Amino acid sequence: MKISGEMIIGLDCIKGEGKEIKSINPLTNLDVEPGYASAKKNDVNLACSLAWSAFKEYRKTKPEERAKFINTIAENIERLGDVLIDRAILETGLPKARLEGERARTCNQLRLFASIVLEGRHLDLRHDEALPDRAPLPRSDLRYQKIALGPVAVFGASNFPLAFSVAGGDTASALAAGASVVVKAHSAHLGTSELVALAIQNAAKTCRMPSGVFSLLYGSGNDIGAALVNDSRIKAVGFTGSRAGGTALMSIAQKRKEPIPVYAEMSSINPVYLLPKALEYKAIDIAKQFVIAQSMGAGQFCTSPGLIIAINGDGLDAFISECKTLIESSGSQTMLTKGIYNAFKSGVSTLKESGAISTIAQGQNSGGENQCAPILFEASAADFIRLPELSNEVFGAATLVLRCKDFDELLQVTEYLEGQLTGAIHMIDGDEDHARQLIDELELKVGRLLFNGFGTGVEVCDSMVHGGPYPATSDSRTTSVGSTAIDRFLRPLCYQDIPKQILPE
Ligand code: NAP
């Protein structure tokens, strides 16, 4: 399949007339052809108008039809083969094996949502039968089911060009819910976005889905994204990216005549607690695991460990000393975009300029473009609470170790933390009392609480929660990964005394 730089609007491919943008190879900082003309407001209007009319038809599709469409998308993505992987490598600098794994995850995710549609689990059907003889008042027949909210706008993530982009978790769960989808492509991987969008468009054609069930628009700067969220026919938004981007879209959505939900996954530093007994007996092992988790994907994961919290003592010293040895002998990796690299540099500078942190260790920088070498800092718990800038997410392989003078101070830090996607506790026998007290606090801060591990690697399954209180996400009642992600794009509807002959199928 060939890319052309055209937008995918319903069943048509349309050349945009706005400003041309190009992806940039982060390994070389050179443009990647072809150019992609940004959408204009009339393209947003067309995509949303088609999405609205398609929605009315698509939400009524039979489970087998909808599941077939979603499964066909997965097949088409697989059929793209190396064309897709090679383009994604060019646009993101990510290694082949990582992208192949991500493609498998993307397709499995689509198939999971197709299976949910077939089972009808998402409908959450409930029935309270009529009680005509109930005194003092009879009860009506009441039936409950969930229906799709309406067309969904999706903003692809830079750090998962497949699994959280055009056909990623947001799109898969929205399509499964019965919503049509308009994606604003991430400007960092335009060709990858087009290829995946063509796979979806072809599936829509093969499965005879209404035109407008899916569209893809390009647009750098904020105008096109803002126009999309402002369009009255869009009824919900899925977003993964920066806190600034997510909160900007939340604000637009709230100011609309009809405010709509924005499910934004934004910023998290994912605290990791090392409890005293675990540090006494396992400091070196934990350090080894941590250094691997920290540098994975150059730390460009929303669940990357950005904060380590422990009580001052020999165990913590041993942990830090092992980390220092391992990090100083480690190399650097290319970041996804120049913008992300610049944000990493500026985040590190802000930490250093606070005057409250010391650098424990830094990896070797290869000197190539957009390189991130892992870096480990240390600060006191008191300074962390005093200086809000120490809590900011530094997207990349940067981690701050907090030395607490005692367990009470460790709990104080926890109470001070903002909402997080994950919290990890390293413990062994003998740490239970501390762990129980910590869990009571951490449950209020995180979406996923994990033990003796690190949050990187998010399983797509029924029990997964990839969410958490603000600013981890804009709505802590939901998850953007796992089967219940579909609930974001559904709402409950009750039928009272509906005649049997017109009951929805
Ligand atoms: P981003 O700048 O928030 O962009 C994400 C998407 O939203 C892009 O498509 C972008 O458009 C669009 N967008 C951003 N602000 C907007 C606004 N005000 N109005 C309309 N559309 C807007 O995120 P990014 O480019 O992926 O990465 C930048 C930073 O985000 C990173 O350095 C990191 O700090 C953070 N990040 C966090 C996570 C996480 O999971 N926690 C993941 C990725 C990134 P364009 O295509 O025109 O840029």
For 26-108, strand residue ranges (E) read: 30-37
State which amino acid sits at residue 445: K
First to last CA, the chain: 39
Residue 220: per-residue pLDDT: 84
Task: Please give the model's pTM, rounded to 2 decimal places.
Answer: 0.96
10-38 mean pLDDT: 96
With a cut of 90, say whether residue 505 has pLDDT above it. no
Ligand 1 nearest atom to the CA of residue 394, by list position? 34
Determine if ligand 1 sits within 6 Å of the CB of residue 422.
no
What is the whole-number distance in angstroms between the Cα of residue 72 and the centre of ligand 1?
29
Q: Which of 48, 107, 302, 372 is catalytic?
A: 302
With a cut of 90, say whether residue 167 has pLDDT above it. yes
In the CATH hierarchy, which top-level class contains the domain 7-23+31-128+141-266+473-502?
A: alpha beta
Give the residue range(s) of CATH 3.40.605.10 domains in the chain.
7-23+31-128+141-266+473-502
Residue 424: per-residue pLDDT: 98
Return the CATH number of the domain spanning residue range 271-451.
3.40.309.10
Rounded-to-integer distance, Cα 156 and Cα 189, Å: 10
With a cut of 90, say whether residue 221 has pLDDT above it. no
Burial of 399 per CB tally in 10 Å (0-12, 13-18, 19+): buried
- Residue 377 phi, psi (nearest 5): -115, 165
Buried b / exposed e over 471-482, threshold 16 CB at 10 Å, is bbbbbbebbbbb
Residue 110 and residue 70 in contact, taking contact as beta carbons nearer than 8 Å = yes
Place of tokens 């009750």: 494
- pLDDT tens digits, 442-492: 999 999 999 999 999 999 999 999 999 999 999 999 999 999 999 999 999
Determine if ligand 1 sits within 6 Å of the CB of residue 391.
no
Q: Whose CA is nearest to atom 32 of ligand 1?
A: 340
209-218 mean pLDDT: 98
Residue 467 and residue 479 in contact, taking contact as beta carbons nearer than 8 Å = yes
With a cut of 90, say whether residue 210 has pLDDT above it. yes
Determine if ligand 1 sits within 6 Å of the CB of residue 240.
yes
Q: Whose CA is nearest to atom 29 of ligand 1?
A: 242
With a cut of 90, say whether residue 504 has pLDDT above it. no
Residue 276: per-residue pLDDT: 98
- Residue 36 phi, psi (nearest 5): -120, 110
With a cut of 90, say whether residue 362 has pLDDT above it. yes
Q: Whose CA is nearest to atom 12 of ligand 1?
A: 245
With a cut of 90, say whether residue 92 has pLDDT above it. yes
With a cut of 90, say whether residue 86 has pLDDT above it. yes
145-174 mean pLDDT: 97
Q: Which of 6, 194, 265, 378 is catalytic?
A: 265
Residue 2: per-residue pLDDT: 85
From 19, 23, 158, the mutation candidate for ligand 1 (largest count of ligand atoms within 8 A of CB) is: 158
Other CB atoms within 10 Å distance of the CB of residue 42: 9
- pLDDT tens digits, 402-418: 999 999 999 999 999 99
| 3-class DSSP state of 77 | helix
467 is written with which tokens? 């969410």
Residue 1: per-residue pLDDT: 78
Determine if ligand 1 sits within 6 Å of the CB of residue 158.
yes
Determine if ligand 1 sits within 6 Å of the CB of residue 157.
yes
Bridge partners, residue 403, by sequence: 310, 380
From 159, 242, 392, 481, the mutation candidate for ligand 1 (largest count of ligand atoms within 8 A of CB) is: 242
With a cut of 90, say whether residue 106 has pLDDT above it. yes
401 is written with which tokens? 């170790």
Q: Whose CA is nearest to atom 42 of ligand 1?
A: 241
Rounded-to-integer distance, Cα 334 and Cα 337, Å: 8
**Continuous H helices in 296-366:** 314-328, 338-353
> Taking all residues of the chain, what is their mean pLDDT, rounded to a whole number?
97
With a cut of 90, say whether residue 398 has pLDDT above it. yes
Bridge partners, residue 473, by sequence: 265
Residue 278: per-residue pLDDT: 98
Is residue 265 annotated as a catalytic residue, yes or no?
Answer: yes
Place of tokens 């709402």: 491
CA 81 to chain centre: 24
Give the residue range(s) of CATH 3.40.309.10 domains in the chain.
271-451
Rounded-to-integer distance, Cα 307 and Cα 272, Å: 6
Cα distances from 200 to residues 10, 27, 193, 311, 461, in angstroms, run: 10, 29, 11, 51, 23
Other CB atoms within 10 Å distance of the CB of residue 30: 10
Rounded-to-integer distance, Cα 435 and Cα 442, Å: 10
State which amino acid sits at residue 364: Q
398 is written with which tokens? 């940067």
What is the whole-number distance in angstroms between the Cα of residue 339 and the centre of ligand 1?
10
- Residue 7 phi, psi (nearest 5): -75, 155
- pLDDT tens digits, 291-330: 999 999 999 999 999 999 999 999 999 999 999 999 999 9
Q: Whose CA is nearest to atom 34 of ligand 1?
A: 395
Rounded-to-integer distance, Cα 410 and Cα 135, Å: 57
